[in-house]
Structure 1
Amino acid sequence: MEVSTIELEKAATVLKLLGDKTRLTMVKILDSNDCCVCEFVEIFKTSQPAISQHVRKLKDAGIVRETRKGQWIIYSLNRDSDYYPFTQDLLKHLPNQDYKLFELAEQGLRISCD
């Protein structure tokens, strides 16, 4: 079995991005759920521009990708990224964050794009 490796500089870039608690939590949530920026705004109780900035950094690095569904832009982990195996290895050591989306759903704030 071949182990995927990435350059040290790229690994440092990913670790720096994920060194921010908000971005790390976002990526952990995206590991099992696709989300809209407005859901992250509710989860983190922070402004839409601040959340958009976090998402843009993750997207620019190729860690997340976006898909348009009608008026919504939905973010998900970029499983085709060279960083994905590395990111997965990190995420498996973190506690599940799905409860945050469950709480949103309970408050009627989970986005339904269907």
Structure 2
Amino acid sequence: MGKHILVVDDSASIRQMVEHTLKTAGYEVTAANDGQAALELCERSRFDCVLTDQNMPRMDGLTLIKKLRSMGAYSRTPILVLTTEASDDMKSQGKAAGATGWMVKPFDPAKLLAVASKVLP
């Protein structure tokens, strides 16, 4: 069975592009439209990796990362941020929150798959 990735983004088109890219490469994908929905999914299911946007309604990506890192099951799970935010300050906040990596939109599907294969051996 392939690795299971949770994709979190409030943009349906981004979710669909990321899902398609990952599914084509053999990953199992579940999607959530904001951080709150993602947190609820993570409380019920186990994912091998979480790929989250930063700017979303109800709960942003950094808050989601902090909450996931406080849960035992997600303390070491790779969490990647895929966002339009490219500032060094935001990246350092992401690192401090526990993000494994940071990618800027628009994303390159080949780069996304390279990062996924690196964090999901």
- When the two structures are superposed, what TM-score results if normalisation uses the length of structure 1? 0.30
- Higher relative CO (Cα under 8 Å, sequence separation at least 6) belongs to 1
**Higher percent of residues as strand:** 2
